[in-house]
Structure 1
């Protein structure tokens, strides 16, 4: 793919992410995306032949990092290191893909009717792997006997909220945007909360 084509696609996806996050899938029109990107509508259709395909492309920008984020859980045997890396990576996704994260959250909350089946299957497969690893750590005595699904849900909620509820968080903290220090502090706190709260052996 040429650099110009990639640049144009990235621009369209970035603008579409904000439009879908702000207005939702049904209310967002291709012509609105073109206007926000300051490009002809025909150019949007040239790169993405339908709203469905563009919406899927937006979802993939956050789903792929989400799928890759669980590699420390899958590959590492030390729960402290694995959980630390997983939580930090999840927070970085909220920082780097805030609009796409909101689109994903809105999609899930609305029943995932537009979520492509292959993506849904990969996310389900990932969740099963995470819960199995949590259960294994408990069986090995590496952490308390905690409900694996509730631990996973808690980490999801604690990390993704920094994207999905950024307006509220910034308002409370009296900031326009969060900086790297804020995310580092959040990662450290959430990690310690999980490790100490679940009795993870350090």
Structure 2
């Protein structure tokens, strides 16, 4: 083993441990809430000693913030297709597809975010007042530009965003309800595709979206 390979192995181990911790924390925070979650529960689920957990995240609040910021960063990445689109048909369609995939693959992260907001954002109010507000204002300007260019009906951009968030995140936050109504089974690949297409059809028709 050379000196150059040792740091890479340590970095790989650190990356994998952090990933395992964040995934475990998502699940524990989603099921128990911030108050009910403990670092021991998270360590046990991650398969790591509690001391290792504190090595990566000194406090429960630090870990909680990392979980919520992680899901928000994933949502931000989903908005890249929105930002680069020439019009609402391409942009909103791609955004719905991306957000639905996030709800499918990261349901626990979405539930943690929803719980935090429903409780008045006691830990992340500063994040909402800065990063979330800035991101939202930027998307509002894009939608206003599409309206001015005659590519969609003049709807309130903020209410359109709220509708997009509520619809796509419903599939994560109320996943148990959806599974119950689906005969106790998770949605199949075909059903996820159908859900995306139906949401896009309803939203784009409702706002009178025109191809770019």
State the partner residue of 2:200.
Answer: 191
RMSD (CA atoms): 1.6
Pair 1:97 & 2:106 matched: yes
Could you tell me whether the CA contact under 8 Å between 1:56 and 1:116 is conserved in 2?
no
- Which one is further off, 135-144 or 98-107? 135-144
State the partner residue of 1:166.
Answer: 175
- Which one is further off, 175-184 or 140-149? 175-184
Deviation of the 1:116 alpha carbon: 6.4
Deviation of the 1:35 alpha carbon: 2.6
State the partner residue of 1:2.
Answer: 11
Deviation of the 1:118 alpha carbon: 4.3
- Aligned pairs for 1:112-151 (under 5 A) are 112-115=121-124, 117-118=126-127, 120-151=129-160
Deviation of the 1:78 alpha carbon: 2.1
State the partner residue of 2:87.
Answer: 78
Helix, strand or coil for the counterpart of 1:112? coil
Helix, strand or coil for the counterpart of 2:122? coil
1:46-92 CA-to-partner distances (Å, cap 9, x unmatched) read 12111111112211221101112222222222211111101101111
Structure-1 separation of matches of 2:50 and 2:177 = 34
1:127-155 CA-to-partner distances (Å, cap 9, x unmatched) read 11222222221222111111211111111
Structure-1 separation of matches of 2:204 and 2:156 = 14
In our comparison, the structure showing a higher alpha carbon Rg is: 2
Aligned with residue 36 of structure 2, among 4, 20, 27: 27
Deviation of the 1:175 alpha carbon: 3.9
Could you tell me whether the CA contact under 8 Å between 1:67 and 1:123 is conserved in 2?
no
TM-score by length of 1: 0.93
State the partner residue of 2:3.
Answer: none
Could you tell me whether the CA contact under 8 Å between 1:99 and 1:163 is conserved in 2?
yes
1:90-144 CA-to-partner distances (Å, cap 9, x unmatched) read 1111111111111011111111111163464121111112222222212221111
TM-score by length of 2: 0.89
Structure 2 alignment gaps of length 5 or more: 1-9
Q: How many equivalent pairs are there?
A: 202
Deviation of the 1:181 alpha carbon: 2.2
